[in-house]
Amino acid sequence: MGFSGRHLLGIEALSIEDILQILDLADSYVDLNRRKVKHSTALAGMTQVNMFFENSTRTQSSFELAGKRLGADVMNLEVDSSSVGKGETLIDTAMTLNAMRPDLLVVRHPHSGSVDLLAEKVDCSVVNAGDGRHEHPTQALLDALTIRRVRGAVEGLTVAICGDIQHSRVARSNLLLLSKLQNRIRMVGPKTLVPRVFEEFGVEIFDNMRDCLRDADVVMMLRLQKERMEGAFVPSMREYFHLFGLDADKLRSAKPDAIVMHPGPMNRGVEIDGALADDISRSVIQDQVEIGVAVRMAVLDLLARTRRSTADHSVPRELI
Amino acid sequence: MDGTQTPPALLLHNARLICPESDTVGIGSLTIEGPRIAAVDVRPARSRKLHEFDCGGLYLAPGIVDIGVKIGEPGERHKESFGSAGRAAAAGGVTTMVTRPDTSPPIDNPETLQFFMRRASADSMVTIKPMASLTRGRAGSEVAEISLLRDVGAIAFSDCDSPVRDVSVFARCLSYCSQNDALVIGHPQDADLSRGAAATTGRFAALKGLPSVSPLAERMGLERDLAVVEMTGARYHADQITTAAALPPLARAIDQGLSVSAGTSIHHLTLNEHDIAGYRTFFKVKPPLRSESDRQAIIEAVADGRIGTISSMHTPQDEESKRLPFEAAASGAVAVETLLPAALRLFHSGDIGLPALFRALSLNPSRLLGLDTGRLAPGAPADLVLFDADIPFTLDRFELNSKSKNTPFDGQLLQGKVIRTYHQGQLIYRKPV
């Protein structure tokens, strides 16, 4: 049956079949997106609301484009933190929106678990576009598809995830997804940002970047937030780059055909060398952005199918 | 003349008496005369006017003395009042509530405490013994008026869950308290490490992406507090010990002869971090729920007496403050009414016997605070709870007497119900038929 949930809240609840179904459909959308005429009618007549409680130009525009290419009416709602100050809670905002009868709600929020909470309260399908440090499922899905398209498979690979693991929802979702697909996960970064407890999930943790990258197939870099760079978690940007910034030299430890990924936006010269990021023989960062739109189209399409196949008034509240 | 007539005594017979002092349980009888227990296992003289009640073999224990109950007065009466908390206590077999000063404004001066006591005596069905704050405004910089507060009735001093950060201030507070022989109730937790934490560091918090605090922050807080106790000679009780790592320093301090004791909360004895599951905010408490191995260690410590008291840490929160993402939601749970049925889980699981349970629920807290309750003995106040340990029920939070309904036990199966509660000889609760 495949991906049949009402929401996409995280990778944790997905089966391997769900993941493959999304990736396969997304593959076809990559092709569609490369045509001159990119339109489909999969979401015709549906309303998609992107509700972002945290700024994000790229994820939001990716979801917006995905919805529009599928023929949905897309509305962007940037809820800055000031409205929380006015006393409106997340649930109130969600209930207000719910009353406008959207079909698909794409949500990003700074608190872990907030999207789960919201999904319990609304009738539409909810897509988690990042909740706190918890999950960012579409990022992990697009990373997986990028790997699959470039390497031919996303199975049995050695993947090195590098940088600020502790605060990263991208790292958590990727860990869950890539583990489900039987890949070996390694992590490296300053000990202040790489909790050792991830070893309990089968991750191999390294202190030295070159050791971590040895014979890796995929090198996945994470963004280091500005406020964590200077003194709080690492002494300085230059020390961080010296130890954990990816450059051509460190990359030599990895397999010769290893690919370099980054969820963006990048800090050039902090976690990744600028020239390397632009080297299209190694970096697939632009591919990630392209494939991201296709993956989001696939997710929206599948949720819409589930929605259509279930009678509107009898939608079970918690399928996932 | 009416004035000289003594009211009839009440004989409770055929009861299973739980005696924490003698560590025994056995069928017997107990006579109440006025506000006090007149006799245990001795039938009153035949000439005496007597009412009798057949307890049907149910358990009769000293009423619970619950240290650390938050009442919403003053400031948050919509969350809990003396009236609602008193009814909840009566229904839970709690006959003395030792209240927390983390109200709004905090109870840090004799005038506020006087107001509080007047409200308590007007509305509460059970005994209220107030704690007052250790520092002015619970702000951690100036010592509160310890002696004046004591004169008005403060029984212990605590800044509750905001421990005094500045060690020199804390040392002065304890020094001052020791001179006044005032009991200090600490919250052993390193304030910096635990800032912003919503869960305990470990597999669960890592997977759920929750900001977390190492379980060692409790040991660090405790070790700091114990060093200051050693320095000042103060009397100190740790409100909640919830991790295995904090037990050795506690034992060392007691061996050393310091005037130190510790309690724990019912939630940390009966729940663990995995109960939070899908970010259920009713399970957000302070300190956060721990691992199962920590829970087991704490149960053992209660069973063998290293941890002396069990409290509800009753913290009413309204719906709005819990209908938020886990990190942003308020901490705490209402628990005064569910304390006994939850504690009976430990009896039914075979972990803690009933006399030991009531030693921690009634006798030890009473002794710690210098009260004369907590015992089944002639002369002691007739604060009693009669309960059936076996009645199973599914808890419906909307049936609780508290104004706030934030209980983690909602929908859970519990076993054991209070049948009657006596407070100073008066029947204050009877289980509805």
Cβ distance A133 to B207 less than 8 Å, yes or no, reads no
Nearest chain B residue (CA) to A13: B278
Q: Any CB–CB contact under 8 A between A108 and chain B? A: no
Instruction: Indicate yes or no: CB of B210 within 8 angstroms of CB of A112.
Output: yes
Contact of A75 with chain B, judged by CB distance below 8 Å, is answered with no
Q: How far is A197 from chain B (nearest CA, A)?
A: 6
For residue A89, list chain B residues with Cβ-Cβ distance below 8 A: 320, 323-324
Q: What pLDDT, on the 0 to 100 scale, is given for residue B381?
A: 98
Query: In this predicted structure, what is the pLDDT of residue A56?
Result: 87
Q: In this structure, are residues A191 and A218 in contact, taking their beta carbons and an 8 Å threshold?
A: no
Report the distance separating Cα B71 and Cα A164, nearest Å.
43
pLDDT, tens digit only, all 320 positions of chain A = 346 689 999 999 999 999 999 999 999 999 999 999 998 999 999 999 999 998 888 999 999 999 999 999 999 987 765 455 556 778 888 888 889 999 999 999 999 999 999 999 899 999 999 999 999 999 999 999 999 999 999 999 999 999 999 999 999 999 999 999 999 999 999 999 999 999 999 999 999 999 999 999 999 999 998 777 767 899 999 999 999 999 999 999 999 999 999 999 999 999 999 999 999 999 999 999 999 999 999 999 999 999 888 755 444 444 44
The residues near A80 (Cβ < 8 Å, ≥ 6 apart) are: A53
Interchain contact, B207 vs A201, CB within 8 Å: yes
Count of CB contacts below 8 A, A vs B?
62
Q: Closest residue of B to A11, CA-based?
A: B207
Average pLDDT over residues B352-372: 98
Calpha distance B341→B364 (Å, rounded): 19
Helix-helix angle A90-99:A114-121, to 10 degrees: 40
Would the CB atoms of A172 and B209 count as touching at under 8 Å? yes
Residues B311 and B134: their CA atoms lie apart, in Å, by 20
CA distance A111 to chain B (A): 6
Q: Is residue B313 within 8 Å of residue B240, measured between CB atoms? A: yes
Q: Write down the pLDDT at residue A315.
A: 46
Taking 90 as the threshold, does the pLDDT of residue B433 lie above it?
A: no
**Cα B332 from Cα B330, distance rounded (Å):** 7
Spell out the alpha helix ranges (H) of B93-136.
Answer: 110-123
Instruction: Inspect the interface and report whether the beta carbons of B206 and A169 lie closer than 8 Å.
Output: no
Distance CA B198, CA A132 (A): 13
Nearest to A91 among B203, B211, B323 (CB): B323
Q: CB-CB: which of B203, B278, B325 is closest to A197?
A: B203
Q: Report the C-alpha gap between B117 and B121 in whole angstroms.
A: 6
Q: Which residues in chain B have their CB less than 8 angstroms from residue A109's CB?
A: 325
Q: Do B279 and A116 touch (CB under 8 A)?
A: yes
Which sign does the torsion angle of CA A304, A307, A312, A316 carry? negative
Give residues with Cβ within 8 angstroms of A149, minimum separation 6: A27, A30, A287, A291
What are the tens digits of pLDDT across the range A105-137? 999 999 999 999 999 989 999 999 999 999 999
A91 touches B: beta carbon within 8 Å:
yes
Specify the pLDDT at position A5: 80
Verify whether the Cβ–Cβ distance A197 to B278 is below 8 Å: no
CA gap A279, A259 in Å, rounded: 10
> Residue for token digits 């279930």?
A310
Q: Is the pLDDT of residue B2 over 60?
A: no
Task: Report the residue from A90, A112, A201 with minimal CB separation from B209.
Answer: A112
Instruction: Answer whether A179 touches B (CB < 8 Å).
Output: no
Query: Would the CB atoms of A197 and B201 count as touching at under 8 Å?
Result: yes
| Chain A residues whose beta carbon lies within 8 Å of the beta carbon of residue B206 | 195, 197-198, 200-201
Q: Contact A112/B279, CB-based, under 8 Å? A: yes
Cross-strand pairs, A139: none
User: Cβ–Cβ of A111/B325 closer than 8 Å?
Assistant: yes
Q: Any alpha helices (H) in A34-162, and if so which ranges?
A: 57-69, 81-85, 90-99, 114-121, 137-151
Contact A113 B206 (CB under 8 A): no
Q: Would you tell me how many other CB atoms lie within 10 Å of the CB of residue A190?
A: 20
Closest chain A residue to B277, measured at CA: A113
Token code pair at residue A203: 């991750």
Q: Is the separation of the CB atoms in A253 and A186 below 8 Å?
A: no
Q: Which residues of B touch A133 (CB under 8 A)?
A: 209-211
Q: Which residue of B209, B278, B323 is in closest CB contact with A133?
A: B209
Does the predicted interface ipTM exceed a cut of 0.90? no
Q: Which residues of B touch A (CB under 8 A)?
A: 201-203, 206-211, 278-279, 320, 323-328
Contact criterion met (CB < 8 Å) for A111 and B328: yes
Among B202, B206, B279, select the one facing A113 at the smallest CB separation: B279
Q: Are strands B9-19 and B24-33 parallel, antiparallel or unpaired?
A: antiparallel
Amino acid at B358: F
3 state DSSP class of B387 = strand
The alpha carbon of residue A297 is apart from the nearest alpha carbon of chain B, in Å, by: 26
Contact check, Cβ <8 Å, B210/A133: yes
Helix ranges (DSSP H) in A112-217: 114-121, 137-151, 169-180, 209-213
Q: Quick check: A177 contacting B, CB < 8 Å?
A: no
Closest-approach residue (CA) in chain B for A90 = B324
pLDDT at B46 exceeding the cut of 90: no
Q: Does A200 touch chain B (CB under 8 A)?
A: yes
User: What are the pLDDT digits (tens) for B291-337?
Assistant: 999 999 999 999 999 999 999 999 999 999 999 999 999 999 999 99
Distance to chain A for B294, nearest Cα, Å? 17
Choose among A112, A135, A201: nearest Cβ to B326: A112
Residues of chain A contacting B210 with CB distance shorter than 8 Å = 112-113, 132-134
Report the 10 Å Cβ neighbour count for B348. 12
Q: What pLDDT is stored for residue A87 in this prediction?
A: 61
Q: Which residues are paired to A59 by β-bridges?
A: none
The partner residue sitting opposite A89, judged by closest CB among B202, B211, B323, is: B323
> 10 Å Cβ neighbour count for B320?
13
| Residue A114 contacts B where some CB pair is shorter than 8 Å | yes
A162's enclosing H/E stretch is: strand A158-162
**Phi and psi, residue B260, nearest 5°:** -130, 140
The answer for A 13-52 residues in CB contact with B (under 8 A) is none
Please, what is the angle between helix B216-232 and helix B247-255, to 10°? 20
* CA–CA gap between residue B4 and residue A194 (Å, rounded): 77
Provide φ and ψ at A158, rounded to 5°: -105, 120
* B325/A90 touch (CB, cutoff 8 Å), yes or no: yes
pLDDT at A218: 98
pTM value? 0.92
Work out the end-to-end distance of chain B between its first and last CA atoms, rounded to an integer number of angstroms. 38
Contacts of B197 in chain A (CB under 8 A): none
Chain B contact for A320 (CB, 8 A cutoff) = no
Q: What is the average per-residue pLDDT within B357-378?
A: 98
B402 pLDDT more than 60: yes
Per-residue model confidence as pLDDT tens digits over B180-212:
999 999 999 999 999 999 999 999 999 999 999
Q: Is B4 a residue whose pLDDT tops 60? A: no
Residues of A in contact with B320 (CB under 8 A): 89
Does the beta-carbon distance from B327 to A201 stay under 8 Å?
A: no
The CA radius of gyration of chain B, in Å to the nearest whole number, is 21
Locate the chain B residue with the closest alpha carbon to A117: B325
Q: Does A112 touch chain B (CB under 8 A)?
A: yes
Band of the pLDDT at B118, cuts 50, 70, 90?
A: very high
pLDDT value of position A317: 47
